[in-house]
């Protein structure tokens, strides 16, 4: 979050989705790649001075946040440009950040930064010098950000960026937000990665422990997956070290001969709070959780009704049926925390599943989300 020092970047809510257009195709592609193309093809693409490179229609905007400016006529790389894609609530947060004021938002916001950033202090807003930041310096690869309505909502999340799990940046400040690592997060600062080495699908039967360990744990980025406990039903296949658990979440059970693919297994990776939510859901009671949490499902799922928990029949679900590709889930502390988010899974943006039930959660689509149901793509 370094755009505090973008002297040319002047934001007003009225500028969001502006109409002054100039066309620079290479910059459009670079900036838009901060989020999945099914979202950005209908988003407004801005240059750093807020001129509009592509007029959008879906209420989202993508903007380069590199405070050092371009190195020539075009951005030298997506990573250097540091683009982010955000909705109007995210824009309200930007305005407050740049003005040094406490953000006032109608609801929380999800940001996509799939190019990562060029580094900053994890504890102090505006510190862009690696020497000054010292051990707090992190140059991020691909990630998402959860921008809370109130910064204190993140007080119970960890702050250590070397564990591979979601962590709070700028904790204790009005600008605290959650960093959600995606695959490749440590590519620019490998020394901070908790796990390195090979993480390939083994050439073994899909009923084997080795294959299941890979299939279930690869629902999360490898740096988190390699340290997670892996469970198959009630059997622990591998004891972990980082407090996370990965397991098959397929309610239809394992077919004879094993799962055909990791997608069919519907694996999920979650922390101890995610386990609390899962226990409530499976027990048919209101989840009692210590805080909100993130669940990774990077292999997606085999489909269900978006409005009614437990409806696994495509015919019964009708137009509410969605078979998801890769996604992240945000499990709120209270289901009502998501009341302001949309519910339409056809727009490409984060949306609420099971709205109005105790099991409401936010689905955050990432690349490949519509691979299994392309007719639902925007």
Q: What residues contact 36, with CB distance under 8 A and at least 6 apart?
A: 112, 114, 348, 365, 366, 367, 369
The reported pLDDT for the residue numbered 72 is 73
Q: Which residues contact 293 (CB under 8 A, 6 or more apart)?
A: 270, 271, 273, 274, 277, 330, 331
Residue 275 has pLDDT above 90, yes or no: yes
Give the residue-averaged pLDDT of 179-208: 95
For residues 180 and 350, what is the distance between their CA atoms, to the nearest angstrom?
A: 14
Asked if residue 75 lies in contact with residue 32, where contact means CB atoms within 8 angstroms, the answer is no
pTM of the model: 0.93
Identify whether the C-beta of residue 59 lies closer than 8 Å to the C-beta of residue 17: yes
At 24, the pLDDT band (50, 70, 90 cuts) reads low
pLDDT score, position 346: 98
Rounded CA-CA distance 216/200 in Å is 13
Distance CA 345, CA 352 (A): 8
d(CA 325, CA 270): 18
Q: How confident is the model at residue 48 (pLDDT cuts 50, 70, 90)?
A: confident
The pLDDT value recorded for residue 342 is 96
Average pLDDT, the chain: 92
Q: Give residue-wise pLDDT tens across range 351-368.
A: 999 999 999 999 999 999
- Look at residue 336 in the predicted model and tell me its pLDDT: 87
Residue 62 backbone dihedrals phi, psi, to 5 degrees: -120, 135
H or E stretch including 78?
helix 78-81
With cut-offs at 50, 70 and 90, classify the pLDDT of residue 16: very low
Q: What pLDDT is attached to residue 13?
A: 37
Tokens of residue 90, six digits:
């995210």
Q: Which helix (H) or strand (E) holds 183?
A: none
User: Which residues, at least 6 apart from 100, have a Cβ–Cβ distance to it below 8 Å?
Assistant: none
Give residue 8's pLDDT band: very low, low, confident or very high (50, 70, 90): very low
- Judged against a pLDDT cut of 70, whether residue 296 lies above it is answered with yes
pLDDT in tens, 249-265: 999 999 999 999 999 99
Across 161-167, average pLDDT: 98
């Amino acid at each position: 979050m370094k755009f505090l020092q973008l002297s040319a970047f002047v934001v007003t809510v009225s500028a969001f989705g502006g109409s002054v257009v100039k066309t620079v195709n290479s910059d459009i592609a670079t900036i838009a790649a901060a989020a999945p193309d099914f979202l950005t093809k209908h988003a407004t693409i801005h240059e750093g001075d807020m001129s509009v490179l592509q007029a959008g229609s879906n209420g989202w905007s993508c903007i380069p946040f590199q405070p050092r400016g371009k190195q020539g006529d075009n951005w030298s790389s997506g990573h250097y440009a540091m683009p982010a894609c955000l909705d109007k609530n995210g824009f309200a947060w930007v305005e407050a950040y740049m003005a040094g004021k406490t953000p006032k938002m109608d609801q929380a916001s999800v940001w996509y930064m799939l190019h990562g950033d060029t580094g900053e202090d994890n504890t102090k807003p505006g510190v862009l010098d690696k020497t000054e930041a010292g051990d707090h310096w992190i140059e991020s690869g691909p990630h998402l950000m959860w921008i809370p309505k109130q910064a204190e909502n993140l007080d119970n999340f960890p702050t250590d960026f070397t564990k591979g799990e979601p962590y709070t940046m700028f904790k204790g400040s009005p600008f605290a937000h959650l960093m959600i690592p995606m695959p490749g997060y440590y590519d620019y600062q490998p020394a901070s990665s908790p796990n390195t080495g090979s993480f390939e699908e083994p050439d073994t039967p899909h009923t084997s422990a080795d294959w299941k360990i890979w299939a279930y744990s690869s629902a999360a980025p490898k740096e988190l997956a390699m340290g997670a406990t892996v469970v198959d039903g009630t059997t622990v296949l591998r004891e972990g070290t980082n407090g996370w658990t990965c397991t098959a979440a397929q309610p239809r059970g394992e077919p004879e001969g094993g799962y055909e693919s990791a997608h069919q297994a519907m694996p999920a990776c979650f922390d101890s709070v995610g386990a609390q939510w899962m226990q409530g859901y499976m027990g048919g009671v209101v989840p009692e959780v210590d805080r909100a949490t993130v669940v990774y499902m990077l292999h997606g799922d085999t489909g269900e009704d978006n409005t009614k928990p437990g409806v696994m029949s495509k015919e019964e679900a009708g137009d509410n049926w969605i078979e998801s590709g890769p996604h992240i889930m945000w499990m709120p502390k209270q289901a009502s925390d998501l009341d302001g988010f949309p519910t339409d899974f056809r727009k490409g943006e984060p949306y609420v599943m099971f709205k109005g039930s105790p099991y409401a959660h936010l689905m955050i689509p990432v690349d490949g989300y519509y691979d299994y149901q392309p007719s639902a793509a925007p």
